[in-house]
């Protein structure tokens, strides 16, 4: 049965992606988040970068300490936004990385596209947090909708778009090829 799946490139891609996702999920949820401070340190670095950008824009900001695995960041005069594990972009980075690693293709291209894609996903997440902080400052009523729908759609669309660039332009292979 495994030989049949291995000979079908699409099924083999799905199998590899599923196994990699399972491993990443287990590693992140049950080891990194539970046994290290890495997740919270990464959130703190996101906040520091957002603060630096807002400083350049002339805004005064605030940031809380860690509270129940979340940290609050915002523009003075607002309630700010909660940033936690689901909002730090690591899951999106894992998803992008898994798609590129699992999909067949040129290893040399993977070596430069993988870190570039991770950087792009991180930049999109920073832009998302900045936009949410601005929404929290100027019209808090739009925050929940934009957090739940608009930016989720944009972030996952960006990951899908990056993967489509990999598949169609850089991998040098197609799943339908035998």
Looking at every residue in the chain, the average pLDDT score rounds to 90
Burial call 38-70: b when 16+ CB within 10 Å, e when fewer:
ebbebbbebbeebbebbeeeebebebeeeeeeb
pLDDT band, very low/low/confident/very high, at 66 (cuts 50, 70, 90): confident
Q: How many CA atoms lie within 13 A of 6 on its CB side?
A: 3
- pLDDT tops 50 at residue 39: yes
Domain assignments of the chain as residue spans, ordered by start = 8-170
Q: Is the pLDDT of residue 177 over 60?
A: no
pLDDT given for residue 138 in this prediction: 97
Summarised one tens digit per residue, pLDDT across range 78-110 is 999 999 888 899 989 999 999 999 998 889 999
Instruction: Report how far residue 57's alpha carbon sits from residue 82's, in angstroms, rounded to the nearest whole number.
Output: 21
Q: What's 85's DSSP letter?
A: G
pLDDT, mean of residues 47-69: 91
Q: What's the Cα-to-Cα distance from 122 to each of 67, 113, 171, 172, rounded to whole Å?
A: 23, 14, 22, 26
């Amino acid at each position: 049965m495994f030989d049949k799946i291995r000979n079908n490139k699409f099924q083999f891609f799905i199998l590899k992606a599923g196994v990699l996702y399972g491993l990443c999920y287990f590693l992140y949820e049950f080891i990194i988040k539970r046994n290290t401070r890495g997740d919270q340190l990464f959130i703190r670095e996101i906040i520091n970068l957002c603060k630096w950008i807002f400083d350049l824009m002339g805004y005064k900001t605030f940031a809380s300490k860690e509270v129940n695995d979340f940290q609050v960041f915002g523009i003075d005069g607002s309630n700010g936004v909660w940033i936690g594990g689901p909002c730090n972009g690591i899951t999106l980075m894992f998803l992008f990385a898994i798609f590129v690693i699992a999909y067949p293709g040129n290893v040399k291209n993977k070596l430069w596209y993988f870190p570039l894609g991770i950087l792009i996903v991180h930049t999109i997440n920073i832009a998302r947090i900045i936009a949410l902080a601005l929404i929290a400052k100027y019209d808090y009523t739009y925050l929940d909708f934009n957090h739940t729908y608009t930016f989720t759609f944009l972030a996952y669309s960006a990951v899908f778009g990056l993967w489509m660039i990999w598949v169609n332009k850089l991998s040098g292979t197609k799943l339908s090829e035998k």
